[in-house]
């Protein structure tokens, strides 16, 4: 402890004391209803960290507070009550009881809490329904596939109605296809249930798909905490940078994260010559047209405007209508922006639910975001911070 405080690196502490400090100096707070992902390679201390959160592994120093209560101050009985009612857990290898039926497994937490049998059964059936396992109540874990077994693990955690879910590499033991399915199911469950979830994983893609925020751990220390975008755009150090290189950016970055401020727009009533002047000024081939409440009404390319002026029109009525403008919501993944961007001659418009223009994604921005190009980072950071940045885990809307 003292050695660590004095700043000795972990490797040296290990050789000096013959003990391994698993988690060193990890401070963070998790909001209610947040999906907080802890990512790190094996041995980085993430599993120990999550076990500190329900005191299965009491920390040697420091404070763990759940809902404002310091866990260290709880008596063993109070701690057990907390585990039974407030904080539940899902395990990497499921941790199911092979000698109990599925429903008995799901009802375990309630059984511990001495909930009456009828109510126990009801809640367990409800939880099994949530994870799509209705009809399997009386089977045994050994009769189920890995994915289904982990659904039982999830149902067991949900049945207690705990506010906090600790998921320790919950999907790591599943094969990739099932894992993807489970991730999506967890995301949609989370939208309904709004639990506070601490999810442990060694897979950055999984972390970015699920996490509202991600903590990256290395050798027992948290090296960076941030949203997917923050970690991708501003990796804290080389370790994180080397990690994010392998990430498929098009599937984790959203339109809202990379969009730029809509400078190349003109007001609806300004007319064709204003549009032409704007385009010349910006040296682009097209502009987006908005009304005075910044609602997107359409777009215009240089050809359109030139034609309108030749025909003597004074208004921008005959421009590209709204339906034909490539527009996306801020939650759209970049993967879904690629085709609109290729087909459109004006930058993709990012609009909110009311049709208000939030930002634009010129093709060059899109490409450099996908490439992880540093040259573009400055503008992205500016806009990314000011504008609403949504996360990858939310439902993607159509292009």
Partner 1 sequence: MDPTAYRIPVGDWIDLLVDWMTDNLEWLFDGIAAFLKTLIQGLEAGFLFPPSLVIILIVTAIAFYAKGWKFALFSAVTFTIMAMMGQWQAAMSTLSLVLIASAVAVIIGVPLGIIAARNDRFSSLLRPALDLMQTLPSLVYLIPAIVFFGIGQVPGAVATVIFALPPAARLTELGLRQVDAEVVEAGEAFGAAPFKILARVQIPLALPTIMAGINQVIMLALSMVVIAGMVGAGGLGAVIFRGVTRLDIGLGFEGGLSVVIIAIFLDRLTAAFGDRASKRISK
Binding site for partner 1 (CB under 8 A): 54, 56, 79-85, 88-89, 91-99, 108-109, 112-113, 140, 142-143, 153, 156, 160, 166
The least distance separating partner 1 from the CB of residue 211, rounded to whole angstroms, comes to 22
The least distance separating partner 1 from the CB of residue 104, rounded to whole angstroms, comes to 10
Please give the C-alpha separations between residue 149 and each of 169, 293, 385, in angstroms, as whole numbers: 14, 52, 41
Distance CA 253, CA 388 (A): 13
The least distance separating partner 1 from the CB of residue 51, rounded to whole angstroms, comes to 8
- Of 97 and 239, the one with the shorter C-beta distance to partner 1 is 97
- Of 113 and 241, the one with the shorter C-beta distance to partner 1 is 113
Q: Which residues, in sequence order, are CB contacts of 23 under 8 Å at separation 6+?
A: 45, 48, 49, 52, 59, 220
- Of 66 and 84, the one with the shorter C-beta distance to partner 1 is 84
The least distance separating partner 1 from the CB of residue 219, rounded to whole angstroms, comes to 24
User: Is the distance from CB of 233 to CB of 380 less than 8 angstroms?
Assistant: yes
- Of 68 and 142, the one with the shorter C-beta distance to partner 1 is 142
The least distance separating partner 1 from the CB of residue 376, rounded to whole angstroms, comes to 45
The least distance separating partner 1 from the CB of residue 140, rounded to whole angstroms, comes to 4
The least distance separating partner 1 from the CB of residue 126, rounded to whole angstroms, comes to 17
Neighbour-count burial of 37, counting CB atoms closer than 10 A to its CB (0-12 exposed, 13-18 middle, 19+ buried): buried
- Of 57 and 295, the one with the shorter C-beta distance to partner 1 is 57
- Of 90 and 346, the one with the shorter C-beta distance to partner 1 is 90
Terminus-to-terminus CA distance in the chain, angstroms? 54
- Of 151 and 268, the one with the shorter C-beta distance to partner 1 is 151
- Of 95 and 147, the one with the shorter C-beta distance to partner 1 is 95
The least distance separating partner 1 from the CB of residue 86, rounded to whole angstroms, comes to 9
The least distance separating partner 1 from the CB of residue 66, rounded to whole angstroms, comes to 13
- Of 173 and 187, the one with the shorter C-beta distance to partner 1 is 173
User: Is the distance from CB of 321 to CB of 298 less than 8 angstroms?
Assistant: yes
Distance CA 23, CA 34 (A): 22
């Amino acid at each position: 402890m003292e050695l660590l405080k004095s700043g000795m690196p972990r490797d040296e502490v290990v050789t000096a004391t013959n003990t391994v400090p698993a988690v060193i100096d990890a401070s963070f707070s998790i909001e209610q209803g947040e999906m907080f992902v802890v990512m790190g390679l094996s041995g980085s201390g993430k599993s120990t960290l999550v076990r500190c959160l329900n005191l299965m592994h009491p920390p040697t120093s420091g404070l763990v507070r759940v809902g404002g209560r310091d866990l260290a101050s709880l008596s063993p009985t109070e701690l057990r009550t907390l585990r039974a009612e407030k904080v539940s857990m899902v395990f990497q290898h499921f941790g199911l009881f092979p000698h109990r039926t599925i429903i008995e497994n799901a009802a375990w937490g309630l059984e511990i809490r001495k909930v009456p049998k009828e109510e126990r059964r009801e809640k367990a059936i409800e939880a099994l329904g949530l994870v799509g396992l209705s009809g399997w109540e009386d089977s045994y874990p050994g009769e189920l596939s890995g994915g289904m077994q982990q659904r039982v693990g999830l149902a067991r955690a949900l049945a207690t109605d705990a506010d906090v879910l600790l998921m320790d590499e919950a999907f790591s033991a599943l094969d990739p296809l099932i894992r993807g399915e489970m991730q999506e199911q967890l995301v949609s469950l989370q939208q309904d249930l709004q639990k506070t979830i601490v999810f442990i994983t060694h897979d950055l893609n999984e972390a970015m798909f699920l996490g509202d925020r991600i903590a990256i751990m290395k050798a027992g220390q948290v090296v960076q905490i941030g949203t997917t975008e923050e970690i991708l755009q501003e990796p804290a150090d080389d370790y994180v940078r080397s990690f994010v290189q392998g990430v498929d950016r098009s599937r984790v970055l959203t339109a809202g994260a990379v969009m730029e401020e809509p400078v190349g727009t003109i007001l609806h009533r300004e007319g064709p010559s204003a549009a032409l002047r704007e385009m010349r000024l910006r040296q682009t081939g097209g502009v987006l047209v908005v009304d005075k409440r910044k609602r997107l009404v359409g777009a215009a390319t240089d050809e359109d405007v030139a034609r309108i002026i030749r025909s003597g029109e004074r208004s921008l009525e005959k421009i590209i209508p709204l339906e034909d403008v490539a527009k996306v919501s801020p939650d759209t993944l970049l993967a879904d922006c690629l085709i609109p961007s290729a087909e459109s001659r004006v930058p993709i418009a990012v609009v909110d639910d009311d049709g208000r223009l939030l930002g634009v994604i010129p093709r060059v921005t899109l490409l450099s975001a996908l490439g992880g190009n540093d040259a573009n980072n400055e503008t992205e950071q500016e806009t990314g911070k000011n504008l609403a940045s949504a996360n990858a885990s939310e439902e993607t809307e159509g292009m």
